[in-house]
């Protein structure tokens, strides 16, 4: 057995570069063989089980399932989540509700349970087939009596019909005939009513070989116990199909699910084929191809696979949580990760999904208004952590490892989220030219967030507007004044709101009438936004070209991060909360983030000076950090440094280099990785009237090519050759 923990020198887990010797012939599909499209895990190491459950998770934006072993292991933690379905227990914040495990199937052969921790595992391999959106498993097991059984699994969440989940399992007795009993009993109810009042119905159908057994949803568990006489060398196939419907999408979830699964089970092969075609079509639009660096290629496909698995253009009342639907960390909550880190990928390659994400912010505007009002301000302030309704769901405190109760201040103080949402909305509109969205939803978000800043910022004696008591992206420093990122983005938000107001007045005067009346915008209000923006304090020092991250930052203690290398824990753990607050060490890009987002507004020497100052002081305590450093370093032309950061970003999930992939894949970091490739190395700029590119490819990348949609036309970027455009109608 290959040691699954062996790593190649790049630090990425060893992945097969040869074609896996798979024999999935009895299943209705077969795995992709090209190593750049698959992730292969050989063997079995119990301690890594949770991490693999995350990495190999399947999803379609409606539902997601972790890649747990069907028969379970002492550490298996199977979980299926449905987007927007939260549970809230009294006294705690809402969290994604785990659904009943539909994947369970255990076999007992002649009284011996077929388990990885019993007998000998002659072969065990799991494959994440990113191209087809399928999780595969192959296992040859020998029990103590010498009986060899082969088991194969295919599992998917249909991308063609998002309510369907499919699992096919084949069992082959290779050197014996004997009695097998299979238990596929569901361990929980098929009808669940969650704490937020959502009813979820799971209708299950089994098919054993050619016999179909239907289980209509009822409040009871689904029984799935059966016994068979196995004949030497014959393959037995167990198909399970689940239709999931909730009261969020239908008034009759139970009936709808029942009818749906009854229809679908009749043609398992067809369902799998349509799913596969849907993935292939998605990849046509969303793939990013690298020649010359197979590890980077696979890492990018892994990023794209998980981003696509988390998106659903058909539901604009849900968004993507920090860990997608692949794990429980952050409870399924939505952060700025979505608007700033993931959204650009969707805007450019899957605008329909991007539209749903920005509309989620529109549908949660009422909660954002309520939050601003609660804090005593006008306009709207989005929740730092948001769930189904957009209310602030950041937990108020956590218990630290020291058993101390630590208050979490981000929910109140990480107010830059308001401008981040506005930035995502503006970016979406800019890139798509979706004027209807702007008029019907986007402008309202831009105005209400700007209004918040205009009432939040206070003019002080120096005649400048200041924002005190906030947390910037760098969460190591709390309750700071004049955070450069917050102020810079607030200023941007105010200016853009004014520009959009002017644009609507000019181009759509009738709509302006309606909108301004509804929102109570006085004729002089947009001008006031502009004036506040003009007089904003930014912390910029003309002498050095540096932004001070917040008031007093430059006077803090210098700590040489290099002296901590190699390090196994985040800097806040090594130094303690208090010491880190007194130091210049930052958790993640803050001024550099501002430079990255407002690139076009910054003179080249300012971009460079700030990156050079802050980069050595960044501890990368957030998974969002390395990719942004890669992007900015690439744009500044430091390709070697960019490549180092790109690799670090790629390893967050693939090599679990932060030690927390067990809680789900890092969707924001994966979006960042894509941006580092497309906007950093590919050098795509989308701020002007037409897309441009200034590529900075790493030495061994022979080429980078991708498609992207800009103002309803598809473009082709091929570096080193150039860009080409064609009409959206010819799109994939």
CB of 668 to ligand BGC, least distance (A): 5
Residue 150, φ and ψ in degrees, nearest 5: -105, 135
Which stretch, 119-127, 223-231, 334-342, 712-720, contacts ligand BGC (CB under 6 A)?
Answer: 334-342
Q: Which two tokens stand for residue 622?
A: 């957030």
**Sign (positive/negative) of CA torsion 283, 287, 291, 293?**
negative
- Name the minimum Å distance from CB 661 to ligand BGC: 13
Question: Tokens 């947390």 — which residue?
Answer: 471
Whole-number Å distance between alpha carbons of 323 and 334: 9
Q: From CA 593, how far away is CA 410, in angstroms rounded?
A: 18
Distance CA 139, CA 14 (A): 19
| Per-residue binding letters, 579-608, with ligand BGC (x by CB under 6 A) | --------xx--------------------
Q: Which letter does DSSP use for residue 679 in this model?
A: I
Q: What angle do CA 66, 70, 74 make, to 5 degrees?
A: 85
CB of 336 to ligand BGC, least distance (A): 6
Contacts of ligand BGC in 662-681 (CB under 6 A):
668
Distance (Å, whole) CA 536 – CA 491: 7
Q: Pick from 36, 95, 138, 337: which binds ligand BGC (CB under 6 A)?
A: 337
Q: What's the rounded Cα separation, in Å, for the pair 38 and 41?
A: 10
User: Nearer Cβ to ligand BGC, position 44 or 485?
Assistant: 485
For position 339 contacting ligand BGC by CB under 6 A, the verdict is no
- Cis ω for the linkage preceding 566 (within 30 of 0): yes
Query: Which long-range CB contacts under 8 A does 259-263 form with residues at least 24 apart?
Result: 260/163, 260/164, 260/203, 261/164, 261/203, 261/204, 261/205, 261/214, 262/203, 262/205, 262/214
CB closer to ligand BGC out of 180 and 658: 658
Please, what is the minimum distance in Å from the beta carbon of residue 702 to ligand BGC? Answer: 34
What DSSP designation does 60 have? -
Q: Binding to ligand BGC by residue 624, rule CB under 6 A? A: yes
Q: Which of residues 454-493 bind ligand BGC (CB under 6 A)?
A: 473, 475
How far is the C-alpha of 593 from the C-alpha of 612, rounded, in Å?
13
Residue count, binding to ligand BGC (CB under 6 A): 12
Q: Which of 664, 682, 484 is nearest to 589 (CA)?
A: 484
Residue of 53, 138, 475, 548 marked active site = 475
Closer CB to ligand BGC, 337 or 448, in the complex: 337
Q: Does 622 bind ligand BGC (CB under 6 A)?
A: yes
Three-state SS at 574: helix
Q: Which stretch binds ligand BGC (CB under 6 A): 100-108, 332-340, 527-535, 573-581?
A: 332-340
Does position 86 interact with ligand BGC (CB under 6 A)? The reply is no
Q: Which is nearer to ligand BGC, 440 or 615 (CB)?
A: 615
| Total Cβ atoms within 10 A of residue 416 | 28
Report if residue 411 touches ligand BGC, rule: CB under 6 A: no
- Strand runs (DSSP E) across 313-358, as ranges? none
Quick check: 322 binds ligand BGC (CB under 6 A)? yes
Stretch that binds ligand BGC, among 61-69, 195-203, 261-269, 333-341 (CB under 6 A): 333-341
Q: Taking CB under 6 A as the rule, does residue 71 contact ligand BGC?
A: no
494-513 footprint of ligand BGC as x/- string (CB under 6 A): --------------------
Report in angstroms the alpha-carbon separations of 619 from 274, 369, 597, 662, 715.
Answer: 45, 35, 20, 22, 37
Q: Give the integer Cα–Cα distance in Å for 55 and 67.
A: 8
Does position 419 bind ligand BGC by CB under 6 A? no
- Tell me which of 44, 336, 437, 536 binds ligand BGC, using CB under 6 A: 336
Q: Which of 105/665 has CB closer to ligand BGC? A: 665
Q: Give 24 or 336: the residue with its C-beta nearer to ligand BGC.
A: 336
Quick check: 632 binds ligand BGC (CB under 6 A)? no
Q: Is 225 exposed, middle or buried (0-12, 13-18, 19+ CB in 10 A)?
A: exposed
> E-assigned strands of 330-431?
397-399, 405-407
Q: Would you give the binding string for ligand BGC spanning residues 87-116, x where CB under 6 A is met? A: ------------------------------
Q: Does residue 475 carry a catalytic annotation? A: yes
**Interface with ligand BGC includes 329 (CB under 6 A)?**
no
Q: Verify binding: residue 653, ligand BGC, rule CB under 6 A.
A: no
Q: Single out the residue of 44, 335, 452, 646 in contact with ligand BGC (rule: CB under 6 A).
A: 335
| Least distance between ligand BGC and beta carbon 450 (Å) | 22
Interaction between residue 85 and ligand BGC (CB under 6 A): no
Structure tokens at 691: 């897309």
Name, in order, each residue with C-beta under 8 angstroms of 537's C-beta and a sequence gap of 6 or more.
460, 462, 464, 465, 466, 482, 487
What is the closest distance, in whole angstroms, from the C-beta atom of residue 64 to ligand BGC in the complex? 17
619 binds ligand BGC (CB under 6 A): no
Minimum CB separation of residue 627 from ligand BGC in Å reads 12
- Contacting ligand BGC within 697-716 (CB under 6 A): none
* Contacts with ligand BGC, 237-256, as mask; x by CB under 6 A: --------------------
208, with CB counted inside 10 A (0-12, 13-18, 19+), is middle
- Hey, which residues are catalytic here? 475
Binding site for ligand BGC (CB under 6 A): 322, 330, 335-337, 473, 475, 587-588, 622, 624, 668
């Amino acid at each position: 057995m290959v040691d699954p923990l062996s790593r190649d020198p790049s630090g990425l887990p060893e992945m097969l570069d040869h074609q896996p010797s798979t024999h999935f012939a009895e299943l209705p599909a077969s795995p992709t063989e090209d190593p750049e499209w698959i992730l292969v895990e050989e063997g079995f190491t119990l301690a890594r089980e949770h991490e693999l459950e995350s990495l190999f998770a399947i999803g379609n934006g409606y539902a997601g399932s972790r890649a747990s072993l069907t028969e379970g292991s002492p550490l298996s933690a199977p979980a299926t989540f449905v987007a927007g379905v939260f549970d809230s227990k009294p006294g705690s914040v809402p969290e994604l509700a785990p659904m009943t495990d539909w994947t369970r199937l255990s076999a007992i052969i002649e009284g011996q349970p077929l388990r990885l921790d019993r007998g000998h595992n002659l072969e065990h391999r799991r494959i994440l087939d990113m191209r087809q959106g399928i999780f595969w498993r192959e296992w040859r097991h020998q029990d103590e009596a010498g009986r060899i059984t082969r088991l194969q699994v295919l599992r998917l969440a249909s991308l063609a019909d998002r309510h369907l989940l499919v699992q096919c399992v084949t069992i082959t007795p290779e050197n014996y005939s004997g009695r097998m009993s299979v238990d596929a009993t569901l361990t929980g109810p098929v009808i669940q009513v969650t704490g937020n009042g959502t009813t979820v119905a799971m209708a299950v159908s089994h098919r054993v070989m050619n016999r179909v057994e239907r289980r209509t949803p009822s409040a009871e568990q689904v029984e799935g116990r059966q016994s068979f006489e196995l004949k030497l060398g014959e393959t037995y196939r167990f198909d399970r199909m689940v239709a999931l419907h909730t009261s969020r999408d239908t008034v009759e979830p139970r009936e709808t699910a029942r009818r749906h699964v009854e229809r679908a089970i009749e043609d398992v092969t067809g369902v799998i084929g349509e799913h596969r075609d849907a993935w292939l079509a998605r990849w046509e639009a969303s793939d990013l191809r690298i020649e010359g660096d197979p590890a980077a290629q696979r890492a990018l496909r892994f990023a794209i696979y998980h981003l696509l698995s988390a998106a659903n253009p058909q539901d604009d009342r849900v968004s993507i949580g920090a860990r997608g639907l692949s794990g429980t960390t952050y409870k399924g909550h939505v952060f700025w990760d979505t608007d700033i880190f993931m959204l650009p990928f969707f805007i450019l390659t899957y605008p329909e999904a991007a539209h749903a994400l920005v509309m989620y912010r529109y549908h949660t505007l009422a909660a954002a208004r309520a939050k601003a009002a609660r804090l005593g301000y006008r306009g709207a302030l989005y929740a730092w952590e948001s769930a189904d309704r957009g209310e602030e769901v950041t937990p108020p405190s956590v218990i630290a490892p020291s058993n101390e109760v630590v208050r979490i201040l981000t929910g109140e103080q990480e107010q830059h989220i308001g401008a981040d949402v506005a930035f995502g909305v503006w970016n979406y509109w800019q890139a798509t030219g979706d004027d209807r969205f702007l008029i019907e939803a986007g402008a309202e978000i831009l105005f209400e967030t700007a209004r918040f800043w205009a009432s939040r910022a206070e003019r002080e004696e120096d005649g400048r507007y200041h924002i005190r008591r906030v947390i910037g992206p760098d969460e190591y420093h709390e309750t700071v004044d004049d955070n450069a990122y917050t102020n810079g983005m607030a200023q941007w938000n105010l200016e853009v709101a004014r520009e959009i107001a002017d644009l609507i007045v000019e181009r759509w005067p009738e709509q302006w009438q309606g909108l301004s009346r509804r929102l109570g915008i006085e004729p002089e209000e947009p001008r006031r936004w502009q004036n506040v923006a003009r007089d904003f304090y930014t912390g910029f020092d003309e002498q050095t070209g540096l932004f001070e991250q917040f008031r007093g930052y430059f006077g803090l203690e210098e700590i040489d991060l290099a002296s901590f290398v190699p390090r196994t824990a985040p800097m806040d753990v090594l130094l303690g909360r208090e010491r880190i607050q007194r130091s210049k060490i930052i958790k993640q890009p803050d001024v550099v983030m501002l430079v990255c987002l407002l690139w076009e507004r910054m003179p080249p020497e300012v971009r460079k000076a700030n990156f050079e100052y802050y980069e050595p002081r960044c501890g990368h305590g957030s998974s969002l950090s390395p990719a942004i450093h890669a992007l900015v370093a690439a744009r500044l032309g430091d390709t070697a440094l960019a490549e180092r950061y790109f690799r670090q970003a790629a390893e967050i999930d693939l090599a679990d280099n932060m030690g927390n992939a067990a809680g789900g894949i890092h969707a924001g970091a994966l979006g960042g990785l894509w941006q580092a490739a497309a906007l950093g190395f590919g050098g795509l700029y989308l701020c002007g009237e037409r897309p441009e590119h200034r590529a900075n490819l790493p030495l061994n990348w022979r080429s980078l090519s991708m498609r992207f949609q800009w103002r309803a036309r598809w473009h082709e970027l091929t570096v080193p050759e150039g860009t080409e455009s064609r009409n959206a109608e010819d799109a994939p």
